[in-house]
């Protein structure tokens, strides 16, 4: 049976609240109802995100776990330091609770205590789709308190569900900002599956649905590319043709009725192409599919790492938030299920990621470099020829030093001085449209980065050093995708 090519939806509810509660059972009931309400309103799986301080945090964690939510923990300090804020009995209960957490991450191990608590609270807001709070409405009693976290969530425009400590009344703020459905991920999931064919490898036996998902978005991106560079280049070429027709009519005194129609066809064609470029939807989906394919390719290439490397953590791209989250959660849940020996990982990663990408960039460099050379040479030849023709005409008009044959005069003094500068401008525009200077430099740079990574991987003897090189390599590759995304989106807006 073919694997489903769908990625799951994961929503995150972050939490902040006070340590001391006058009515803990009542607060627990309010938290329970708030989580149940979110699960009804947002399809998919909900993940609870919080710290593990005594009081509201642990109350929230128990209620979330009781409802079948996974619990991810952001600790402000290393456990040995964090436990100083607990009594012995409280810490024993918290340790038992932490053992049930799906993920525990120490966010800050170097800052002052209050700064660390504030940073952890801010990180909880960053990772949340909705922030749930148990708050007395009073200002924070110290840096990093509940009021500070709520104020930060408000500044970021996060949806808030606030439970009043005394009355247990629930107030919802900015609920319209919560996107129960991710339209981009739903679009990707709704794409037809790719036809059976070769493609991206799955060297570390990642879940079949990720491989199937990657292949279908990659297939869609490959088949649905709108060729915007070619379309923009065609507008330039059509304008040049219209100019050449007009220049020929003036230089050779041509009065054929077809010439105005030729100009009109060229200019109308250029306008039609420009209007075609304004079709935002197709371009948006194409860019999204290409990004999704590359994120999945990176995930597949690193699935064998023994730790869930957060290579996407700092990447905030429109339309990619839930896709990236799905890859991270699924990767974390699979860590350790199929352990890979370090030497096997090195061999497979080099063969299926480093060498594949090196071949890709070398191929693209081989395509872009001749284009750049020809267009740049054409620009210089057209420019020099235009200057020469214009200078000859200027000298002849002043000194009339020689008789010029009539047929040559029209070409040398009238047609070429008009058409050659336009052609030179068109050639330099084609270099810019195709982004050739940047692409050639970037392909060379990426090849150098990959060659260096290949050597570093060969000499890595520990998982720690190997993971560092892999993370640097993947971030460089993904940064190239992000750079491409920015340039492509800019071109789309024009």
- Shortest CA distance to 458 belongs to which of 346, 341, 344? 346
pLDDT of residue 33: 96
Q: Which residues contact 297 (CB under 8 A, 6 or more apart)?
A: 200, 214, 218
The tally of domains found in the chain comes to 2
**To which residue do tokens 């030497």 refer?**
343
pLDDT of residue 316: 66
> 56-110, pLDDT tens digit by residue?
999 999 999 999 999 999 998 888 888 888 888 889 999 999 999 999 988 766 6
> 245-282, pLDDT tens digit by residue?
888 888 888 878 888 888 889 888 888 887 776 654 56
Where among 177, 195, 218 does a domain terminate? 177
Q: What percent of the chain has pLDDT over 70?
A: 90
- Asked if residue 465 is part of any domain, the answer here is yes
* CA separation, residue 207 to residues 53, 194, 281, 296 (Å): 35, 17, 31, 11
Range with the lowest mean pLDDT among 54-58, 85-89, 413-417, 481-485? 481-485
Specify whether 334 is located in the same domain as 255: yes
Question: For residue 45, what are the β-bridge partners?
Answer: 10
111 pLDDT band, cuts 50/70/90, is low
pLDDT of residue 80: 86
> 392-409, pLDDT tens digit by residue?
888 877 776 667 666 677
Specify whether 173 is located in the same domain as 215: no
437 pLDDT band, cuts 50/70/90, is very high
Specify whether 224 is located in the same domain as 163: no
Specify whether 371 is located in the same domain as 224: yes
Q: At what angle do helices 463-493 and 436-459 cross, to 10 degrees?
A: 170
Specify whether 140 is located in the same domain as 257: no
Question: What is the CB neighbour count within 10 angstroms for residue 71?
Answer: 22
493 pLDDT band, cuts 50/70/90, is very low
**Which contiguous run of DSSP H or E holds residue 12?**
strand 10-17
pLDDT of residue 282: 62
494 pLDDT band, cuts 50/70/90, is very low
What phi and psi values does residue 163 have, to the nearest 5 degrees?
Answer: -100, 120
pLDDT of residue 236: 86
Specify whether 286 is located in the same domain as 405: yes
pLDDT of residue 198: 61
- Asked if residue 383 is part of any domain, the answer here is yes
> 229-247, pLDDT tens digit by residue?
777 788 888 888 988 888 8
pLDDT of residue 415: 87
Give the pair of three-digit tokens for residue 317. Answer: 């791209």
Specify whether 146 is located in the same domain as 227: no
- Asked if residue 185 is part of any domain, the answer here is no
> 342-356, pLDDT tens digit by residue?
999 999 999 999 999
- Asked if residue 201 is part of any domain, the answer here is no
User: Given CA atoms 196, 201, 205, 209 in this order, what sign does their dihedral have?
Assistant: negative
- Asked if residue 189 is part of any domain, the answer here is no
Q: How are strands ordered across the β-sheet holding 10-17?
A: 103-106, 70-75, 45-50, 10-17, 130-135, 160-164, 170-173
Q: What percent of the chain has pLDDT over 90?
A: 48
- 99: DSSP letter: T
- Shortest CA distance to 352 belongs to which of 171, 204, 135? 204
- Asked if residue 183 is part of any domain, the answer here is no
**Where are the strands (E) in 45-182, listed by range?**
45-50, 70-75, 103-106, 130-135, 160-164, 170-173
For residue 159, the domain's CATH number is: 3.40.50.450
Question: For residue 74, what are the β-bridge partners?
Answer: 105
More confident position, 377 or 201:
377
Residue 124's domain comprises 10-177
Where among 132, 155, 177 does a domain terminate? 177
Specify whether 165 is located in the same domain as 260: no
Specify whether 137 is located in the same domain as 283: no
User: Given CA atoms 118, 119, 124, 128 in this order, what sign does their dihedral have?
Assistant: positive
Q: At what angle do helices 436-459 and 355-399 cross, to 10 degrees?
A: 150
Is 455 a residue whose pLDDT tops 80? yes
Q: Which residues contact 461 (CB under 8 A, 6 or more apart)?
A: none
- Asked if residue 35 is part of any domain, the answer here is yes
Specify whether 162 is located in the same domain as 273: no
DSSP string, 344-412: HHHHHHIIIIIHHHHHHHHHHHHHHHHHHHHHHHHHHHHHHHHHHHHHHHHHHHHH--S---HHHHIII
Alpha helices in 253-354 (DSSP H): 258-277, 280-301, 321-334, 342-349
User: Which whole number is the average pLDDT over 479-486?
Assistant: 78
> 299-343, pLDDT tens digit by residue?
999 998 887 655 665 566 767 888 989 998 998 888 767 788 999
- Asked if residue 5 is part of any domain, the answer here is no
User: Which whole number is the average pLDDT over 176-188?
Assistant: 90
User: Which whole number is the average pLDDT over 187-191?
Assistant: 92
pLDDT of residue 320: 84
What average pLDDT does the structure give for the chain?
Answer: 86
d(CA 304, CA 434) in angstroms, rounded, equals: 37
* CA separation, residue 470 to residues 142, 294, 312, 445 (Å): 40, 16, 13, 17
Where among 137, 159, 177 does a domain terminate? 177
Specify whether 113 is located in the same domain as 258: no
Q: Which residues contact 115 (CB under 8 A, 6 or more apart)?
A: 108, 143, 144
Contact 94, 58 (CB under 8 A): yes
* 383-402 burial: b if 16+ Cβ within 10 Å, else e: bebbeebbebbeebeeeeee
Specify whether 161 is located in the same domain as 224: no
Rg from Cα positions in the chain:
31
């Amino acid at each position: 049976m073919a694997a489903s090519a769908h990625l799951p939806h994961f929503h995150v509810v972050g939490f902040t609240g006070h340590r001391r509660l006058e009515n803990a059972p009542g607060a627990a009931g309010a938290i329970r109802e708030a989580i149940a309400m979110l699960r009804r309103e947002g399809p998919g799986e909900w993940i609870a995100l919080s710290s593990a301080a005594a009081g509201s945090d642990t109350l929230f964690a128990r209620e979330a776990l009781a409802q079948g939510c996974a619990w991810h923990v952001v600790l402000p300090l290393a456990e040995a330091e964090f436990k100083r804020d607990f009594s012995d009995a409280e810490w024993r209960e918290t340790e038992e609770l932490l053992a049930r957490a799906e993920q525990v991450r120490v966010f800050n191990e170097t800052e002052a205590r209050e700064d660390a608590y504030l940073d952890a609270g801010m990180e909880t807001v960053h990772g949340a789709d909705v922030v749930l709070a148990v708050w007395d409405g009073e200002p924070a009693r110290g840096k990093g308190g509940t009021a500070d976290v709520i104020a930060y969530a408000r500044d970021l425009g996060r949806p808030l569900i606030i439970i009043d400590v005394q009355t247990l009344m629930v107030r919802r703020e900015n609920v319209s900002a919560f996107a129960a459905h991710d339209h981009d991920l739903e679009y990707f999931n709704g794409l037809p599956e790719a036809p059976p064919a070769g493609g991206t490898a799955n060297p570390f036996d990642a879940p079949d649905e990720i491989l199937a998902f990657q292949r279908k978005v990659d297939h869609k991106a490959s088949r649905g590319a709108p060729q915007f560079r070619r379309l923009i280049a065609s507008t330039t070429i059509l304008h040049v043709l219209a100019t050449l027709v007009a220049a020929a009519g003036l230089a050779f005194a041509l009065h054929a009725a077809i010439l105005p129609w030729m100009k009109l066809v060229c200019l109308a064609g250029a306008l039609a192409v420009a209007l075609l470029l304004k079709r935002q939807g197709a371009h948006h989906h194409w860019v999204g599919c290409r990004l999704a394919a590359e994120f999945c390719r990176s995930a597949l290439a690193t699935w064998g790492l023994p730790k869930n490397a957060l290579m996407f953590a700092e990447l905030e791209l429109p339309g990619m938030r839930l896709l990236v989250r799905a890859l991270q959660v699924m990767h974390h849940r699979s860590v350790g299920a199929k352990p890979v020996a370090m030497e096997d990982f090195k061999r497979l990663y080099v063969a299926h990621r480093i060498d594949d990408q090196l071949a890709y960039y070398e191929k693209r460099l081989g395509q872009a470099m001749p284009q750049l050379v020809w267009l740049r040479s054409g620009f210089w030849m057209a420019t020099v020829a235009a200057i020469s023709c214009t200078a000859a005409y200027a000298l002849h008009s002043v000194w009339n030093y020689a008789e010029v044959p009539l047929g040559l005069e029209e070409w040398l003094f009238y047609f070429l001085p008009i058409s050659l500068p336009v052609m030179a401008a068109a050639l330099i525009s084609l270099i810019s449209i195709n982004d050739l200077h940047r692409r050639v430099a970037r392909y060379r740079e990426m090849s150098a980065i990959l060659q260096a990574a290949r050597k570093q991987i060969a000499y890595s003897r520990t998982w720690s050093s190997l993971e560092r090189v892999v993370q640097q390599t993947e971030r460089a590759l993904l940064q190239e995708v992000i750079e491409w995304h920015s340039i492509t989106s800019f071109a789309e807006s024009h």
